[in-house]
Amino acid sequence: MAVIIDGKKIADKILDEIKSKVSKLENKKPSLAVILANDNPSSALYVNSKEKKSKSIGFNSFVYRFDKEVEQGTIKNLIIKLNNDPNINGILLQLPLFNHLDERELIELINPKKDVDGFHPINVGKLNCGLKPYAKCCTPKGIIRLLKEYSIELTGKNALVIGRSNIVGKPVAAMLLNENATVSVAHSKTKNLKEHTLRADIIISATGCAHLIKADMVKKGSVIIDVGIVKKDDGTLLGDVDFENVKNVAGFITPVPGGVGPMTIASLLENTYELYLEQLEN
């Protein structure tokens, strides 16, 4: 039976450490600005939870909510204002946006030094060059932290990332490569996924396909990180991995919920704190 990776416990540890450091600050507190420009209920929930957690560890949190009439120019002006505001350390553009908005233009307008999500091309480029980005994408950063907390060796291991999105698949593949893993990336056009999964020492699955990964698809003793979140009609959450059966074959496994999810918010607030420290020095 696999070791269950407890993301909630590690996330709480990270947040407690930041809270303790923030409580000792004599000067201004770290500040996170979040822009919400869509009417997706899940995004509203994520933003509320980010706001609540930010405040609970002593950060200032500002949320800018817009309705569907909002124009691109209004958000551009807000980003420019936040870029120039010395009291704001991190800017987060909650994705997805209303369809009529140009996501790329807005992401590229955020000052890379305040790009708390690590989505700006400068930060993506730094990551891919093996350099230190101003901030690393939150979910991938949280995944690497989980692997390290459980002392899981990455060097020379066969790591399979399933999913190639800009927010999870590609950046986690880059981070694993930077950690000397031998990385493959699968996606919806990959043929014979099972052949790839059976070769992997580490699987990071980020597809949003409930129970895509079955027990007969994983190597005995392998490490299974489940990023997927699928909400059923009754409100329960499923991951990409058939947890109940896969846990009998894997060596380590993350549950859904309570695995990667809490690490994403912890990484976001850690990024905000790190940007704050860098901005204090400059």
Residues that bind ligand NAP (CB under 6 A): 139, 162-165, 167-169, 186-190, 193, 206-209, 212, 227-230, 260-261, 264
**DSSP at 217:** G
| Nearest distance, CB of residue 148 and ligand NAP, angstroms | 18
**DSSP at 153:** -
Is the previous residue joined to 257 through a cis bond, with omega within 30 degrees of 0? yes
Q: Where are the beta strands (DSSP E) in 13-52?
A: 31-36
260-281 and 41-56 are packed helices; what angle lies between their axes, rounded to 10 degrees? 60
- Residue listed under structure tokens 């950046």: 171
Nearer to ligand NAP, 54 or 139 (CB): 139
279 noted as active-site residue: no
Q: How far is CA 65 from CA 34, 39, 210, 241, in A?
A: 8, 10, 31, 34
Nearer to ligand NAP, 113 or 271 (CB): 271
Q: In whole angstroms, give the CA distance from residue 244 to residue 240.
A: 12
7-23 and 260-281 are packed helices; what angle lies between their axes, rounded to 10 degrees? 30
| Nearest distance, CB of residue 81 and ligand NAP, angstroms | 28
| Nearest distance, CB of residue 170 and ligand NAP, angstroms | 9
50 noted as active-site residue: yes
Instruction: Please identify which of the residues 6, 53, 94, 113 carries the catalytic annotation.
Output: 94
94 noted as active-site residue: yes
What values do phi and psi take at 276, rounded to 5? Answer: -55, -50
Nearer to ligand NAP, 40 or 74 (CB): 40
| Core vs surface per residue 133-159: b (16+ CB within 10 A) or e | bbbbbbbbbbbbbbbebeebebeebbb
| Nearest distance, CB of residue 224 and ligand NAP, angstroms | 14
Provide the CA 124 distance to its chain's centre, in angstroms. 14
Nearer to ligand NAP, 88 or 266 (CB): 266
Q: How far is CA 25 from CA 58, 59, 199, in A?
A: 10, 11, 49
Nearer to ligand NAP, 201 or 240 (CB): 240
| Nearest distance, CB of residue 199 and ligand NAP, angstroms | 15
**Active-site amino acid positions:** 50, 94, 117
